[in-house]
Amino acid sequence: MLKVSDMADFIAFQLPEDGALAEQALLDIVANPDKTYIDAFDFSLSSLFTEIEKADANGVSGEILIDRRESGKPAQKARISVLSRTLKNWRITIGSAAYGKTPSQINHSKTVVTESSTGLPWCWTGSTNITDVAFNEENSVYVFRSKQFSDMFIAHLMDHIEWNRKNHPTWQIQ
């Protein structure tokens, strides 16, 4: 648990009405020149793939954790595989729930955080899957700035990534 006391610039989006705004907020966060961390249950948003490719070309690094069941769908698997092979500064990890006792446990998070060299890090989270259709469905997204949340999220995500890489090496894209 974390009581966040340094939150700033809080914005709440209610989808589908605010879908385009919530998606643009996500893309703006990933366009940040500092390292980005993505934890995604479902990961197939075309505009985000494009933004990640641009960030990578500009030398920005990142970490992405994607749920195993969702990443195995044929269309997503092909796209994630291409992205994984072409990115130079990003690492994609396929996983299940952190420290999961069984492979069937899902990683259901939908959170994006960037480090920040100029102020509080940006955070994007909510119920919205990171897909082309999710921004047109009934969902919510919250965008805010918080070093406390960012630090907690990054530490947890990196533990989760390393655990999945160690315990599920055959799931990883080669």
Task: Delimit the domains of the chain by residue range.
Answer: 9-171
pLDDT at position 23 is: 97
Q: For 127-154, what is each residue's pLDDT tens digit?
A: 999 999 999 999 999 999 999 999 999 9
Long-range contacts of residues 55-60, Cβ cutoff 8 Å, at least 24 apart: 55/30, 55/31, 55/90, 56/86, 56/87, 56/88, 56/89, 56/90, 58/33, 59/89, 60/32, 60/33, 60/34, 60/35, 60/36, 60/89
Q: For 48-107, what is each residue's pLDDT tens digit?
A: 999 999 999 999 999 999 998 888 777 788 888 889 899 999 999 998 876 656 666 778
The correct answer on CATH 3.30.870.10 for the domain covering 9-171 is: yes
- The predicted model scores a pTM of 0.93
